[in-house]
Amino acid sequence: MVKRMATAREQLLSMLAEKSFCLGEFKLSSGGISDYYIDCRLTTLDAAGARLTGEAVFDEIRKRDWHANAIGGLTLGADPIVVATAIISAQRGKPLHGFLVRKAEKAHGTGQRIEGFRQKPARVVIVDDVCTTGASTIQAIEAAREFGFDVAGVLCLVEREEAGGRATVAKAAAPAEFVAMFTANDVRAEHVKYGPPPIFAVSAKCDFCDRPAVTNTPGNRCEVHRP
């Protein structure tokens, strides 16, 4: 039997699990504390990871029939996704031009907030790397519409499934569709399956006693209380 080749999406998930996911104790931009962190840029800025990102995102956009002219998002998380997808789209003969949304209008030159593709009218896809509260994604949606773009779809690589992010982004995106390539649980499951041993702070103590923790999955546990 011929072994099936893994798709770009499957390979991207494996790389996110290996390079971008880590366990520990982290403070999020939302102000909350989490036992894991996902830094997608470790994957999207990797040479092979950039190619996989572009292929997987381009395939998803085509599958959704969004018929977009361009792809863009809020700097900095969206930048490598936009460039990678634009390159793959050109190679496939279905060009999606790229644009970036500044966090604020620049105070010199033309003072524009949208950089790159600026043709109107145009249908665009808004992308982001990780969605927690969805604030950065919503900023990009609002800026694109204010500029005069028609938002055809909204996509993030990883949705954390917390802080009401999905509902908030979906509401802001409507009537466009909001899609997450993966959930944080997808990446965590792949990390546990294939990734390195969990990483935790040396000073961590067991959630049930004062013994040193030896694992943090599903929480800080000592040798006595580990699953």
Question: CA 27: distance to chain centroid?
Answer: 18
Strands 177-183 and 114-116, by their bridges, are unpaired
Residue 47 has pLDDT above 50, yes or no: yes
Residue 44 has pLDDT above 80, yes or no: yes
Q: Which band of pLDDT confidence, cut at 50, 70 and 90, is reported for residue 198?
A: low
Residue 117 has pLDDT above 60, yes or no: yes
∠ CA 52-56-58, nearest 5°, is 115
Q: Which band of pLDDT confidence, cut at 50, 70 and 90, is reported for residue 205?
A: confident
Question: Where is pLDDT greater, at 161 or 118?
Answer: 118
Contacts of 84 (CB under 8 A, 6+ apart): 44, 50, 51, 53, 54, 57
Burial of 144: CB neighbours in 10 Å, binned 0-12, 13-18, 19+? buried
Global pTM? 0.83
Closest CA to 33 of 24, 45, 20, 44: 24
Mean pLDDT of 47-64: 98
Tally: H helices and E strands in the chain: 7, 8
Structure tokens at 66: 């969004």
Q: Domain residue spans in the chain?
A: 8-104+111-194
Q: Which band of pLDDT confidence, cut at 50, 70 and 90, is reported for residue 217?
A: low
Tokens 């999207």 found at: 44
Q: What is the mean pLDDT of the chain?
A: 89
CATH architecture of 8-104+111-194: 3-Layer(aba) Sandwich (3.40)
Rounded Cα–Cα distance for residues 150 and 124 (Å): 6
What per-residue confidence (pLDDT) applies to 32? 75
